[in-house]
Amino acid sequence: MTSLTPFPGYDGLMSLSRREGVDIRPTLLRVLTDLYVQNPSHTDEEERQFVELTSRLIDEVDDATRAVVRARLSIYPHTPRAIALRLSLVSSPDQRVPLAAPIPPADTASPSRPAPRAPTEAEQRAASLSMQPEDAAQLAEMFFSATARERAQILHNLAETPLRPAARIHAPRAMRAIEVLHMAAYVSDVENFTAELGDTLLLTAATANRVVADDGGEALACALKAIGVQGHVFEQVLMFLDPAKGSSVEWVYRLSRLYDRLSERAALIMLAAWRGATVASTRAKYRAALYDHERQRARSATPQARPAVQPGTTWSPRIGTTRG
């Protein structure tokens, strides 16, 4: 087979699919489809390669994966006709792929739609509450020590808490970070991936390493959701960044479902907890050097007893010789 330059990482996925007990074909088909629809146009060679690869995979995957691929290619204007026929998007080779009708603009002035309720004063105050560093450290440690099901419940509850989330990453900075993270994941460059993640989210190197190296993957999902990474890019990061973990289809799909349900607010609150935990650890490390702490130590020290009579405060007669 010829080398597939339009699809980086394909050889790595094929090697994973040959391992015993690992069925990577559904994930492989979704990745190939995502890579194909990202470009508005393709050369004849790219289209031929895509048809050759996907034609063999469409009949070998489950119905759910086939439905996802069919939905993505149904709205892509340059779907190859051979694939459109295979997925029943068209009934004849000469028929064009039907495009979805444009969505009409929402009628904001419709009387049947109630106007949004303005938040009360109590709700506004609650939405501005921020975590103290000690509370943030407890939340972060509880999250990392929890099981996969407990982590999912924690993230679900965070979306409803009145805690103030971290600020969104500036859009141009987030776009640049997504490109760097995507490329680093493709080549399994964990070091540069971790460094870019820490710089983007303003995390210490130790915290960034803990997020990336976390076996569960929920911490990485929060970090990439806070940056604004799309779902299909997150799946590719899971598969390529650590091939040992990415070879587990169950692990990838579990985190992919979690990522789809994860809210941006919950991810940003967790980001605020990680930053606050860093502040708490820094305070604990340098607490003995703080001025207030030294002053409290000086106040609590036992005062030394002063002598009852101070030198020079009493009169004593001068004893000397007299003139004769």
292 token code pair: 């207030």
pLDDT at 173: 94
Q: Residue ranges of the domains in the chain?
A: 10-86, 133-278
pLDDT digits (tens, 9 = 90+) for 184-228: 998 899 999 999 999 999 999 999 999 999 999 999 999 999 999
Confidence grade of residue 278 (pLDDT, cut at 50, 70, 90)? confident
Alpha-carbon span 224 to 184, nearest angstrom: 14
pLDDT at 126: 42
Contact status, residue 162 vs residue 126, Cβ threshold 8 Å: yes
Does the pTM of the predicted model rise above 0.85? no
Segment among 46-60, 99-113, 138-152 with least mean pLDDT = 99-113
End-to-end CA distance of the chain: 133
User: What is 59-97 written as a DSSP string?
Assistant: TTS-HHHHHHHHHHHHT-TT--HHHHHHTTS-SSTTSPP
Hey, how many other C-beta atoms are within 10 angstroms of the C-beta on 52?
A: 13
